[in-house]
Structure 1
């Protein structure tokens, strides 16, 4: 079982994690320097261009901006919220946030629907999960 998990982790660990329907935080300093008020604000990924660039609809203004994933951060919802697992072994699965470990920057999740429905994942790193837009 553990070998299977490690193999799944290796095959699903990618250098790109953006996907439509998730809420991200814009950390682009270049946008901030241009006078845009998007820095540290949240937006919804509408679509992904060439794997690494997100078309982000800002939640406050509905403006659409294109931002490289290097300038975006995942958003962790409140306990009980839904997340998409965006990287690692369970990439692509939706899960419910059960608890967070702020010292280890990780979350306990329960996978919802699909092949792994009901499976509890004890420690998934924050950067591998992202809030799903309601």
Structure 2
């Protein structure tokens, strides 16, 4: 990924060869900010896409998947989506020409886990601890 003029970014990915003559297309999805669902922004046979209208101070997570269109059965078989890549629009005055987009690769384990995931893990841990406490109390009272 790299930032172009203004609020536009170009996303590229590695393409694969057609399988047994069947064409391969790609699906690009984006998750904007704190939204909960990815939205499809591109489907085609190219290995590049330019997206515009991006906002500063907003995280964008992109992921791509390959789909094989079987010509004999007219079915489309889609493989798994790639891990997401994080992108945040950089202000033009701080970006030099040809500079890559600030794709962040998570700083430590905390950078890889969103705050919602941390909160869910905290709830699970509290529930597990509470369950163990109740089990110990029940065993203590019923074994006496």
TM-score of Structure 1 vs Structure 2, range by shorter chain: under 0.3
The structure with the largest strand share of the pair is 1
The structure with the larger Rg is 2
The structure with the largest helix share of the pair is 2
> TM (normalized to structure 2)?
0.23
